[in-house]
Structure formats: structure tokens, C-alpha cells
Amino acid sequence: MSSPQEPNQPGSIQPGSVEAGLTPPPPPSNPPASYTPPPYGQNAPPAPFGLPGQPPRTKSRKGLYIVLGIVAAGVVLVVAGIIVLVSLAGSATSQAKGVAEDFTDLVIAGESDKAYDYLDPALQEQLSQEDFVAGVASLNMDDTCKPEYRNVTAATENGRKSADVAGLITCANTTVELEYRFEGTEDLKMINIKLKPPE
């Protein structure tokens, strides 16, 4: 005769309970189809950026910095070149005006022989000192004369300076137009001169 099983004994089935873990479940009759991920944008899992626990890589900006550095260097060189050109032109202009003032002051003071030294040797070959002194004397300038420089332009090219000076010498008894052209590397010499009463 069989003895009744004790409650809660292994292998015993209690009324209203389900037996689990004693026998493996039967194999499914239809195996599941292979997994196909949902289309993009429909709850697709995000793609990983790197190994787990590592932050995503940032793009290198080295190339951008190199390009910006080259552009900045180019701008600096252009600005420096402009500053040098402006300072050279300004230097030539101030030098030309200074030479023109010195020359005109000597002419007005009657020291034409000293003013003659401002002429370039090529111009001195065309105009003798005697002719120059006589020509200045014929203008009848005296100590009432005051020069006015209306236009002074200068340029520097390949280290050689050139300048044009134009204006008036106004005296109590006369007015004289002046036009000078200077050229030179270090010292400016007069290569063209015009002193004459207005027409």
C-alpha cells in the first residue's frame, strides 16, 4: 500500500499548483524567424561611438588651425608691406618738401650760387651756374617773398625716390610760379626746375 506523500516534498504536486523545473519544456514546433532590425527612425537602437565606457572621439581641428595661421600670417605681411610703403612715401614727401624749402629760401635770399648745388649734375650740364644766377636775379625777388607749396607728391620705387613740388612765391611786387622735380636714392637732387612769373 502506498503511503500518502508529505506536503512540500520534492516531486509532489499539490492541488492548484504548477510543477516547474522538473522536466525540460518540449521543443517548439515552429522555430522563430531570424531577427530583422526595425527600419531607421523606428525605435532603432543608437549606434555605439566607441568602446563601452569611452567618450566619443572629437574631430581634429589641426588642419583648420594651420589654414587659419597661414591666412593670419599673410594678412600681417600685407599690412606690414602697406605700412612700409606708406612710411617710405611719407619719408620721401617730407624729404622733398624740406629740400624744396631749403632751395627756395636760398633763391629768395639772393644766394643763388649756393642754391645751384641742389641741381643734379646732369641738369648743371644743361644750365651753367652763371645762367642760373642771372635767371633768378631777373625775377626781382626780395625778402618780402613767401613760398607756398600747393602740391607735393613723392614715390619710392626700387629704393629710388622721386618727388614733384609745385606752388607759388608771393612777393610784394611780383609773384613767381615754382615747379621742381627731385630724384635720388639717399639725397634728392633737382632734375627739373621752373621759376617764372604767372602767364
pLDDT for position 51: 56
189, part of any domain: yes
23, part of any domain: no
Q: Which residues pair with 166 in a beta bridge?
A: 151, 179
Q: What is the mean pLDDT of residues 10-30?
A: 52
The listed range with the strongest mean pLDDT (41-50, 61-70, 108-117) is 108-117
175, part of any domain: yes
CATH code of the domain containing 155: 3.10.450.50
pLDDT for position 133: 92
Q: In 3D, which of 142, 128, 139, 127 has the Cα closest to residue 178?
A: 139
**Residue position matching grid coordinates 610784394:** 172
Distance CA 161, CA 174 (A): 33
Q: Which domain holds residue 146?
A: 81-196
42, part of any domain: no
CA angle, 75 then 79 then 83, to 5°: 170
Whether the predicted pLDDT of 156 surpasses 50: yes
Distance CA 144, CA 82 (A): 42
Out of 28-42, 50-64, 124-138, pick the least confident: 28-42
pLDDT tens, 119-132?
Answer: 999 999 999 999 99
- Please check whether residue 155 is in contact with residue 145, taking contact to mean a CB–CB distance below 8 angstroms: no
44, part of any domain: no
pLDDT for position 103: 92
62, part of any domain: no
Out of 40-44, 91-95, 117-121, pick the least confident: 40-44
Q: What is the mean pLDDT of residues 181-186?
A: 88
Domain count, the chain: 1
Whether the predicted pLDDT of 165 surpasses 90: yes
What global pTM score does this model have?
0.54
136-157 core/surface letters (b: 16 or more CB in 10 A; e: else): beebebeeebebebeebebebe
30, part of any domain: no
Distance CA 111, CA 8 (A): 141
At residue 18 the predicted structure's pLDDT band, cuts being 50, 70 and 90, is very low
76, part of any domain: no
pLDDT for position 154: 87
* Beta carbons within 8 Å of 115's beta carbon, 6+ residues apart: 103, 106, 107, 132, 136
Distance CA 139, CA 177 (A): 11
